[in-house]
Amino acid sequence: MFFYYQLRTHHYKTELVPHITCPLCHTAGQLHFSIMQKYMWVLGPIAPSRKYAVAFCEHCNNYIPKVKWTDPMDSSYRALKQGLKTPGRLYRGLLVFPLAVVAVIGITLIFVKRTEHKQQDNKALIKEAIAHPKPGDIFQITHTDGTIADYTYFKIVRTQGDSVYVNPSNKHFTSPKDMKKWDEVPTEAAAFEPQQLAFSISATQKTDMFTYATQPVEYGMVWSLYRDGTLYKKY
């Protein structure tokens, strides 16, 4: 999250101080004071700083730097500033800003809740798809032989009793950089091996992993289900 803010200036008043002599050109009667105040703007004004004055001489066309101010200038400035109250609107942002923050947090929470909800729905659907495998369903699988893992797919061919038969895919991804490509689930027959692997449905239900009858044991962990053109992810 980043904050965008501006520094703005509030102008109170500009007044001629006729009895003061300009310290630069030594002419009297041409000096003006402008009383100002800086404040921050973040969705509204906040954090007004101290008031200050800019002195300008219309005779020599100069701004008088603060170090050149004479004592009479100091006292006139104090007199002009007296009774000037920082307007309440310069603090209005203090009200607007928290409201905006609350709104942003609220929207984020709704979004997170929705995503969580969707993941819960997907998990339930995948659980169901593992319990009752449907020919044509494709699972996104991470396959591991205990040392190397790769990202691939299993396509359900048929079931018989507690056995489910799948065609493993000939597409394998090994780099986390390929995760986007992994999500582009292939449906064409050429993307799958003709051989059929058999797994126990009840064992797969327990772990969400297709366990090979090999030694050492290999696994295919289920990540998502691709059904009728839609990818349902668990995470």
Per CB under 5 A, residues contacting Zn ion are 22, 24-25, 57, 59-60
Nearest to 139 by CA among 48, 233, 49: 233
User: Given the complex with Zn ion, which of 61 and 205 has the nearer CB atom?
Assistant: 61
The DSSP line for 164-208 is EEEEEBS--B-SGGGHHHHTS---SGGGB-S--EEEEHHHHHHHS
Minimum distance from CB of 32 to Zn ion (Å)?
11
d(CA 222, CA 29): 87
User: Given the complex with Zn ion, which of 60 and 197 has the nearer CB atom?
Assistant: 60
Nearest to 22 by CA among 53, 58, 52: 58
DSSP class of 146: S
Alpha helices per DSSP H over 43-91: 71-81
The length of the chain in residues reads 235
Minimum distance from CB of 26 to Zn ion (Å)?
7
User: Given the complex with Zn ion, which of 53 and 225 has the nearer CB atom?
Assistant: 53
Minimum distance from CB of 14 to Zn ion (Å)?
16
Minimum distance from CB of 9 to Zn ion (Å)?
23
Minimum distance from CB of 71 to Zn ion (Å)?
17
d(CA 141, CA 234): 12
User: Given the complex with Zn ion, which of 25 and 42 has the nearer CB atom?
Assistant: 25
User: Given the complex with Zn ion, which of 31 and 46 has the nearer CB atom?
Assistant: 31
Nearest to 56 by CA among 20, 93, 104: 20
